[in-house]
Amino acid sequence: MSKSALLLKRTIPTAAAAVAATLVLGGCGGASVNQVAAAGSAGAACGTVNVALNAWVGYTANAAVYSYVAQDKLGCTVVQKDLSEQISWQGFGSGEVDVIIENWGHDDLAKQYITDQAVAVDAGPTGNEGHIGWYVAPWMAAKYPDITDGKNLNKYAELLKTSESGGKGQVLDGDPAFVTNDEALVKNLDLNYKVVFSGSEAALIQSFRSAEKNKTPLLGYFYEPQWFLSEVALAKVNLPKWSEGCDSDPEKVACDYPVYTLNKIISKKLSDSGSPAAKLAKAFKWTNEDQNSVATDIQAGMKPEAAAKKWVDAHPQVVDSWLK
C-alpha cells in the first residue's frame, strides 16, 4: 500500500445514525442485500461474518462476491452492514465488523486500529489498483485539449462556473466521505475554483453522463476501478505529479493522488479464529476488470447476489484458488 498520509475529508453522521440497516445473506438465492432477512443456520465451521458495506458500487461488487462465496461454498452466515468508511473501522473494536473488503489507503485508521489498538489486521491486496483524480467529459478534452494540463485550469474557470461555485470555476466532488484532497489542491495550486459536493457516487456519475450528452462543461473528481468509464471515457486532468511525502500534510497538498494498492482489512478476532471466512478474506484477489464486470451488472439492475453468482460460475478456477 502507498505510504501516503491522511488523504481523507470526512463528514461523519452520529454513530447511532451510521449503524444502518443490517443485511443478512442466509444461503444461495437468499435475501437481497437491500433487504433485512432472518439469518439462516450458520455453518458450524464458519459461523457469522459481519461485512461492512461502503457506499460505492465497486465496493458492493467486492462485497457481493466475497459474501456469495462465503455463504455458498463455506456455509457462513454473512451479515452486511451499511456503514461509512470511518465508522466501519470503529466496528473492529466493538465487534460489529469483521471485514472491510476494499480499503483505499487510510494510513491514519490503519495506525489507530491495526498498530495501536491491535483489533484489526491487514488481509492483503484485493488485486485492484485504485486511481483518483480530476476528469473532464470526452467532448471537453476534444474541444479544449490543453485543459488536461492542470496548469491551464484557471484559463477555463469562467467556462466551468456554476450557480453553486460563487463566481469561481467548479470542481464537482461526490460523497463528502470519499477520500479527497480537492479543497487543499484548489487552495495550494492557486486555482480560481470552488469544490462543490454532489453528495453521492450516483449523482457524480449522472453529472458526467449529462455533461457528455448535452456538451455542458464539467470538471470533477472521479476514480477507477469504476464501471462507468466503459460507458463514458472521461479524460484525466494531470495535476503536479505525486511523489512520496508530497501529501503528508493534508493542509498543504499540492500534488496529484497516488496510485492505491487496494487491500482488505479484517478483525483480529476473525483472523485468529481459524474460521474459513478469514482464510477466504486473505485469499480473495481479482482484477479491476473483474470488479467492473460485476459492478456493471449491479448498476444495470441485477441484484448483487445474482451478479456475484454469475461471476463465480464463470470463474471456477479463480474461486477454487481462494478456497485451497
| Res. 42: pLDDT tops 70 | no
Residues constituting the chain:
324
Where do the CATH 3.40.190.100 domains begin and end in the chain?
131-252
The amino acid that residue 178 corresponds to is F
| Res. 267: pLDDT tops 50 | yes
Where do the CATH 3.40.190.10 domains begin and end in the chain?
15-129+263-323
What distances in angstroms separate CA 70 from CA 80, 291, 320, one per listed residue? 12, 17, 12
Residue 300 buriedness (CB in 10 A; 0-12 / 13-18 / 19+): exposed
Digit-coded pLDDT (tens) for 202-221: 999 999 999 999 999 999 99
Digit-coded pLDDT (tens) for 21-35: 344 554 333 333 333
State the cell numbers at 252. Answer: 498543504
3-state helix, strand, coil in the chain (%, to 5): 40, 20, 40
Mean pLDDT of the chain: 88
For cell 485543459, name the residue.
147
For cell 489542491, name the residue.
185
d(CA 46, CA 319): 17
- What's domain 131-252's architecture? 3-Layer(aba) Sandwich (3.40)
| Res. 14: pLDDT tops 60 | no
- Give the Cα-Cα-Cα angle 73, 31, 85 (nearest 5 degrees): 85
For the segment 228-240, the average pLDDT, to the nearest whole number, is: 95
| Res. 177: pLDDT tops 90 | no
Assess if CATH 3.20.20.70 describes domain 15-129+263-323: no
Predicted structure pTM score: 0.78
For the segment 34-48, the average pLDDT, to the nearest whole number, is: 49
d(CA 179, CA 201): 12
